[in-house]
A and B are shown apart, each in its own frame.
Chain A
């Protein structure tokens, strides 16, 4: 990718926004999953 080409900032912004949203969504689901798994394992049988 040529970083000196015109409008390259728009391309980088599109990738950064996509990465932020998808990583955020993934982390929120995985953290919730970890919390629930812990609660399931620690509950009295």
Chain B
């Protein structure tokens, strides 16, 4: 990890692997969408609506994982003063917020025909909504505070305090009565889903994960380039 502390070394690595990661993302999406929309059967109860799960579940799972990544990066920034840790956390936030919003919207589009309502204030849905607010709060801190060191200090606290919400989202369906179904993949007894539905779900989850990796590396590279241009501009101004 310390190897990547040098932004120039990070740029070299990112430039080398990004084309391959983008290519893998495109292949995973092509395979995932083929399985999700064409090859997989409709569910015997949900009918064609089950296909919403192939975009809803990966978006929801990744939005939780991305927040954990932001909290880890924030902890690394505090403990090790790693120069790219804050950059990595900040770059992940808009992607995580988009995934979280998509999980809420696609969940709502599934809920209307299946539950008869767009939204209920139950534990799982409410805690996911809180996750979206945490993402927006984290992004707002960076946008609202001009002093980047102060913004980083507050943003780290938002990320670290907010990560408490992640296990609440995960276990909300077990701790409280919820309209949302309990875990059906990560269970001690194994997945409760038929392989004809589990495989498209797994490939789409891989595609969403690879897309995150592609977007995250691109966003970090953009941030490093921006800092470099800003530093050179300031150097030029002070030399005049």
Contact = CB atoms under 8 A, between A and B. Distances in A.
Contact of B59 (A7, A13, A18): A18
Interface residues of A, number: 26
Given A29-B218, A30-B218, A22 B109 contact: no
A25 B221 CA distance: 15
B interface, over-half SS: helix
Interface of A: 1-2, 5-8, 10-11, 13-15, 17-18, 21-22, 25-26, 29-30, 32-33, 36-37, 39-40, 43
A7 B226 contact: no
Contact of A2 (B42, B95, B101): B42
Contact size range, B: 20 to 34
Given A7-B47, A10-B49, A11-B51, A22 B211 contact: yes
B220 to A, nearest CB: 10
Contacts, number: 83
B98 A6 contact: no
Interface of B: 37-38, 42, 47-49, 51-52, 55-56, 59, 94-95, 98, 101-102, 105-106, 109-110, 112-113, 211, 214-215, 218-219, 221-222, 225-226, 228-229, 232
A30 B55 CA distance: 23
Nearest to B15: A37
A interface, over-half SS: helix
A32 B98 contact: no
Nearest to B221: A33
Nearest to A3: B48
